[in-house]
Amino acid sequence: MKHALVLFESMFGNTQEIAEAVAEGLSSSLPTVILEVGTAPAALPDDVDLLLVGGPTHAFGLSRPGTREDASRQAGGQVVSGRIGLREWLAALARTSGNVAVAAFDTRIAKPRVPGSAARAAEKRLRRLGFRVVAASESFYVTGTAGPLVEGETERARAWGEKLGEACEGRSNDRGVADGKLGATETHER
């Protein structure tokens, strides 16, 4: 049975909220599990057919120990992902045969728009590891460093998850998947 895994890193809870919405959308098409990166297994389980990874954009890309430490200070030590980040998890992940479909998402500040994206950096790493990218990376926006999310972003994330799920179940056309204009449906566990 096909199975989706949504793996996220979050500092202030915004990326977690997006991950939960994406997983909810995916669950209507695929059984879906959602995990915070610090609780994720070191190796990808054999039953995962779709992997979605997401994290906050820090300093134009994936977080680093120093940027997570800064976020923790800003949050008074109360961050969601306190152990490791997506960068470290991806660095430890083994190469794959390309049978697992992947997509990446991030959260980033809406204004001013700055270059760089955690999702694009994650997508690049996943591609190098041999994964099959099925949707262009997607960004979801927050109003400031600690958030909150821009109005409508949670709904947009849910719709993106639904399209991803439909595409993986063969109900969307290939062009929609390649353009990253899809959404998925989710079944999620916590």
DSSP for 36-51, please give it: EGGGS-SS--TT-SEE
- Report which DSSP code applies to 61: B
- Taking the mean position of all CA atoms in its chain, how far away is CA 44? 15
Name the nearest CA neighbour of 10 among 39, 40, 50, 37: 37
Please count the structural domains in the chain: 1
Domain with 13 in it: 4-187
- pLDDT tens for each residue of 37-50: 999 998 998 899 99
Evaluate if pTM is beyond 0.85: yes
pLDDT in tens, 82-97: 889 999 999 999 888 7
- CATH code: domain of residue 156: 3.40.50.360
Taking only the tens place, the pLDDT of each residue in 98-134 is: 789 999 999 999 998 889 999 999 999 999 999 999 9
